[in-house]
Amino acid sequence: MLKVYDTELRSRLLLGTSRYPSPAVLVEAVKASRAQVVTVSLRRESSGERAGQGFWSIIRDLGVRVLPNTAGCHSVKEAVTTAQMAREVFGTTWIKLEVIGEDDTLQPDVFGLVEAARILSAEGFEVFPYTTEDLVVAEKLLAAGCRVLMPWGAPIGSGRGLNNLFGLKALRAHFPDVPLVIDAGIGVPSHAAQAMELGFDAVLINTAVARAAHPAQMAEAFAQAIDAGRAARLAGPMEPRDLAIPSTPVIGKAFLG
């Protein structure tokens, strides 16, 4: 079980709901993924891209928990206001906090992120911050009231996987008891399995599933990869070596004179 903010989840796959070809395809993907949490952008859904109440009805019928996000926000004020609106719309204190600082990479503005996290935590929100793998930023987010961290693997929608293995390993080692969810940049199931093998607690995926030729099949593949990666982590994988070790012992080998 994965425990986040006193809520226990069986699935370690969180799924985004944007950019699917149709609501029907989204429903198939969520079911195939076995995800219990889906992210929804208040801004996107309010813009007319979705069919209003029909979309909410679909999400409710799936029986999943909604994690609203502040996607597209570039300032503390904008993010805080969006979070407050999301709490009213969805009736939840959960919020995936995004404060974007750079348009090309969608890298988070970590200074604004910490400030917004502090404000929202004081207002009773349970904040899931989209952040980098920076240890100092992580410390400040935890001090601001966050109890979960969501470091990026790579820029949002890039599909590049885990760009900074050293930084991500250091983050996992430095915060062994904090739930860490890889968010952004995951492109294929092997990326998700790698994140789980490194000891991360869950993975959030959107574009890699939504833009696949067959989203439901890809969602199922990600679910299997996350299960496999988690099992491998618990099994205790071997450490890599620079030199070879023969798998067959030399004892009993015939020696020719």
> To 10 degrees, the CA torsion angle through 245, 246, 250, 252?
140
Owner of token pair 């019928």: 61
Residues in the chain: 257
Q: Where are the alpha helices (DSSP H) in 3-75?
A: 23-33, 42-46, 53-62
Q: Determine the residue type at 232.
A: A
Please state, in angstroms and rounded to a whole number, the distance separating the CA atoms of residues 203 and 223: 10
251 Ramachandran zone, left/alpha/beta (phi>0; psi -120 to 50): beta
The answer to whether the CB of 74 falls within 8 A of the CB of 46 is no
- Collect all residues with Cβ–Cβ distance below 8 Å to 241 and sequence separation of at least 6: none
* DSSP code at position 245: -
H/E segment holding residue 173: helix 165-174
Q: Determine the residue type at 101.
A: G
Residues 31, 96, 140, 169: which is the catalytic one? 96
Q: In what order do the strands lie in the sheet with 37-41?
A: 150-151, 126-131, 94-97, 65-69, 37-41, 13-16, 202-205, 181-183
Please state, in angstroms and rounded to a whole number, the distance separating the CA atoms of residues 96 and 140: 17
Please state, in angstroms and rounded to a whole number, the distance separating the CA atoms of residues 70 and 100: 9
Q: Is 96 a catalytic residue?
A: yes
The catalytic site residues sit at 96
